[in-house]
């Protein structure tokens, strides 16, 4: 997906990366060079832009491909054993699972509805399909039925669910404001 010809254009439209790049948030610019490719972006703006859309692509993209490859090679039992006996692998799976629980494809779809034209919209659809595939494969490897479904995960799950009444409206408002800014409909007050 990242190597696809439309990925960077999609990223620039579907996230607030352009607006974030205009902010003076640190000592370095959002990009290393003027080129419009993934390699030119710095990590913090890259991750932050995806986080704003509740897509969290940098966390999970590639996870399903790696796990599927091992499962296809007959290593599901090995992956499950690693998940229960190898602290680093277990921690990695748990962190990916937690971020997958925070992801909300409905919110990212709303950003797409407002900000992405039909030329680039299929990239978002593919990413949302990959997100669901990643959720399914992580659950398969962890041998679970739902994200954060273990009793030890209940506090984390409740914390994520408690945020929704507050961050859902903020995400949707941000998508609307970005749409208005990019359409030139917004007043100068929105720019400030």
The model's pTM is 0.88
Q: How far, in Å, CA of 152 to CA of 150, rounded?
A: 5
CB 140 within 8 Å of CB 76: yes
Task: Give the CA distances from residue 183 to residues 39, 102, 116, 177, in Å, rounded to whole numbers and listed in that order.
Answer: 28, 29, 12, 10
Give the count of alpha carbons within 13 A of 124, CB side only. Answer: 29
DSSP string covering 137-174: HHHHHHT-SSTT-SGGGHHHHHHHHHHHHHHHHHHHHH
Instruction: Encode the chain (192 residues) as per-residue pLDDT tens digits.
Output: 666 779 999 999 999 998 988 876 665 555 555 655 566 677 888 899 999 999 999 999 999 999 999 999 999 999 999 999 999 999 999 999 999 999 999 999 999 999 999 999 999 999 999 999 999 999 999 999 999 999 999 999 999 999 999 999 999 999 999 999 999 875 666 655
Question: What local confidence, expressed as pLDDT, does residue 36 receive?
Answer: 59
Measured in degrees and rounded to the nearest 5, phi and psi for residue 113 equal: -55, -40
Vertex 140 angle, CA 138 and 146, to 5°: 75
CB 108 within 8 Å of CB 55: yes
């Amino acid at each position: 997906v990242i190597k696809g010809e439309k990925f960077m254009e999609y990223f620039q439209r579907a996230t607030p990366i352009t607006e974030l790049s205009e902010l003076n948030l640190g000592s370095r610019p959002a990009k290393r060079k003027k080129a419009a490719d993934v390699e030119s972006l710095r990590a913090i703006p890259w991750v932050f832009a995806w986080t704003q859309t509740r897509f969290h692509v940098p966390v999970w993209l590639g996870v399903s491909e790696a796990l599927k490859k091992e499962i296809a090679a007959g290593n599901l039992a090995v992956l499950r054993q690693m998940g229960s006996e190898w602290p680093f692998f277990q921690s990695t799976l748990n962190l990916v699972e937690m971020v997958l629980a925070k992801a909300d494809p409905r919110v990212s779809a709303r950003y797409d509805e407002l900000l992405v034209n039909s030329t680039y919209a299929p990239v978002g659809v593919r990413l949302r399909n990959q997100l669901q595939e990643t959720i399914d494969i992580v659950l398969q490897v962890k041998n679970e039925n739902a994200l954060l479904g273990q009793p030890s995960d209940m506090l984390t799950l409740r914390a994520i669910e408690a945020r929704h009444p507050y961050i859902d409206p903020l995400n949707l408002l941000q998508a609307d404001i970005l749409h208005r800014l990019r359409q030139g409909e917004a007043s100068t007050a929105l720019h400030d």
